[in-house]
Structure 1
Amino acid sequence: MSRVALIWRAAFASTGWFGLALQYWLLTATGHSLADIPARTLNYFSYFTILTNLLVALILTLPVVAPASRAGRWALQPSVRARATMYLVVVGLGYHLLLSASSTLQGLAAFGNIIVHYVMPVAILLDWLLFTPRGGLRWTDPFRWLRYPLIYFAWTVIHGYAAGWWPYWFLNLPQLGPVRSALAVAALLIALLIAGFAFVAIDRTLTRRDRTPAPA
């Protein structure tokens, strides 16, 4: 890993963890009783945005603090970095297109929101483009990358009905009904699949460019 990549990953790993800690503090410790903390903590870990930012913070941190460890080698795998990048880029785009217009956040809440929805998606995308080795992705990978969102959707349904709380309006089954909810989930999965294929195409295009000999 180059010195530039090391500094980049250390800087944005720190930024990612700060953003996550700030979001947790805002959700659990401001204006709520101590008795609410367990339920709010569970809600915190039920946001796709939070879980995906956690994944990205990990794959930025592990190569810096333990590059030779099993976890560090896992975090450096091109497929792992590509899927995490794709997830968070979709999170950022989804937030901007579906949720940002109705946002009324101010102050620290707005600052934390910018970190997890804008700063970190751009940071990990640039990390993937600039520092991740090419040629490690296959056209079948995007189908395997759907396992994480499918597990998340299943958890959202279980937790939503158990707690009466839903993280996003477009996943609120009681409010939308089964048909509209199924269509929303299908649309999200299709968007993730398209994004996954786009990442594979970019990887292969950049690989061919890197392998093309310069003219004499």
Structure 2
Amino acid sequence: MSGAHTSRVVAIALRLGAAALSITAMTYQLVAVHIPRGYSVPDYFWYFTNLSNIMISIVFVVSAVRLIRGRTDPSSTDVALRGAAVVYIAFVGLVFNTLLTDVDISSITPWVNTVVHFVLPAAGIVDWILWPPRRRIPLRVVGWWMVWPAVYAAASLVREALTGWYAYPFFSDDAVGGYGVVVALVGVMIVGFALLALGVRAVGNALGARRWHREAEPAAAG
């Protein structure tokens, strides 16, 4: 068994395993906890954590299927979408472990919390490092990666102002002590997200150039 074949098998196993774990955790939380307690189903899918877990799971499954079929040269769009998913899930882990350390998460089943806030962010980062993108990511792609979080933040702020409901306390002036604090926190997150996106791009380009350009045989993943 060649090194490339072994690497491909490991990539497939990691991606399908992580996706299955994420989907199982989110389904359990929704069906066994969220709905029985009378919480809104649409609200469940408003959380950036859940949306990011869904996206990375889809990317993992699609990329694993591509590898199973022997396709190891993804398009530029595939690489950009994969990078976006990695940035978003890494951001989930970063924010949860910095800005949300004091937030009451008693409504989240402990093992589910571990999966969506720790395991999947770690899986996304490890996958990006072990199997970096085969195509160089242009700087302009980082701008596209910023669009969805910006839209999400704007929509969350508007929804909180209109209904009083918020997924995260930093979107509520009542929760954090005024609109000035909200603006400051959102500003910090935007800057942090931009730096994270630039970092993911830089790591992907550097590791991709180092690994794929020196391998003569088809590589494991893209």
TM-score when scaled to structure 2? 0.79
> What residue number does 1:158 align with?
158
1:19 CA drift (Å): 1.6
Distance change (3 Å), C-alpha of 1:212 and 1:131: closer
Residue 19 of structure 1 aligns with an amino acid whose one-letter code is A
- 2:211 corresponds to 1:205: no
Residue 184 of structure 1 aligns with an amino acid whose one-letter code is L
1:76 CA drift (Å): 7.8
User: Deviation per CA, 1:123-168, whole angstroms, max 9, x where unpaired?
Assistant: 1111122234334212232222110111101221232234321111
Q: Which has the higher helix share?
A: 1
Instruction: List alignment gaps of at least 5 residues for structure 1.
Output: none
1:104 CA drift (Å): 5.4
Choose which of 10, 13, 16 in structure 2 pairs with 1:7: 13
For the 8 Å contact 2:132–2:205, the answer to whether it is kept is: no
Paired with 2:54 and 2:28, the residues of 1 have a C-alpha distance of 13
Deviates more, 1:85-94 or 1:127-136: 127-136
Residue 78 of structure 1 aligns with an amino acid whose one-letter code is V
**Percent identity for Structure 1 against Structure 2:** 22
1:62 CA drift (Å): 2.3
SS in 1 for 2:139: coil
Equivalent runs, 1:111-122 vs 2, <5 Å: 111-122=111-122
For the 8 Å contact 1:62–1:75, the answer to whether it is kept is: no
> What residue number does 1:93 align with?
94
> What residue number does 2:189 align with?
188
Residue 165 of structure 2 aligns with an amino acid whose one-letter code is W
Residue 125 of structure 1 aligns with an amino acid whose one-letter code is I
Choose which of 16, 19, 23 in structure 1 pairs with 2:22: 16
The structure whose RCO (Cα within 8 Å, separation 6+) is larger is 2
Distance change (3 Å), C-alpha of 1:10 and 1:45: same
Choose which of 28, 37, 41 in structure 1 pairs with 2:34: 28
1:204 CA drift (Å): 2.6
> What residue number does 2:141 align with?
141
| Equivalent residues, number | 202
Paired with 1:139 and 1:204, the residues of 2 have a C-alpha distance of 11
User: Deviation per CA, 1:143-200, whole angstroms, max 9, x where unpaired?
Assistant: 2211011110122123223432111111113444332212211111100100011112
Paired with 1:79 and 1:156, the residues of 2 have a C-alpha distance of 25
Residue 9 of structure 1 aligns with an amino acid whose one-letter code is R
Paired with 1:9 and 1:207, the residues of 2 have a C-alpha distance of 18
Distance change (3 Å), C-alpha of 1:207 and 1:63: closer
User: Deviation per CA, 1:34-79, whole angstroms, max 9, x where unpaired?
Assistant: xx5xxx11211111111111111111122345778xxxx6798222
User: Deviation per CA, 1:6-46, whole angstroms, max 9, x where unpaired?
Assistant: 222111110110121122235522333xxx5xxx1121111
> What residue number does 2:168 align with?
168
* CA RMSD across the alignment: 2.7
TM-score when scaled to structure 1? 0.81
1:103 CA drift (Å): 4.2
For the 8 Å contact 1:146–1:193, the answer to whether it is kept is: yes
1:94 CA drift (Å): 1.1
Instruction: List alignment gaps of at least 5 residues for structure 2.
Output: 216-222
Distance change (3 Å), C-alpha of 1:65 and 1:115: same
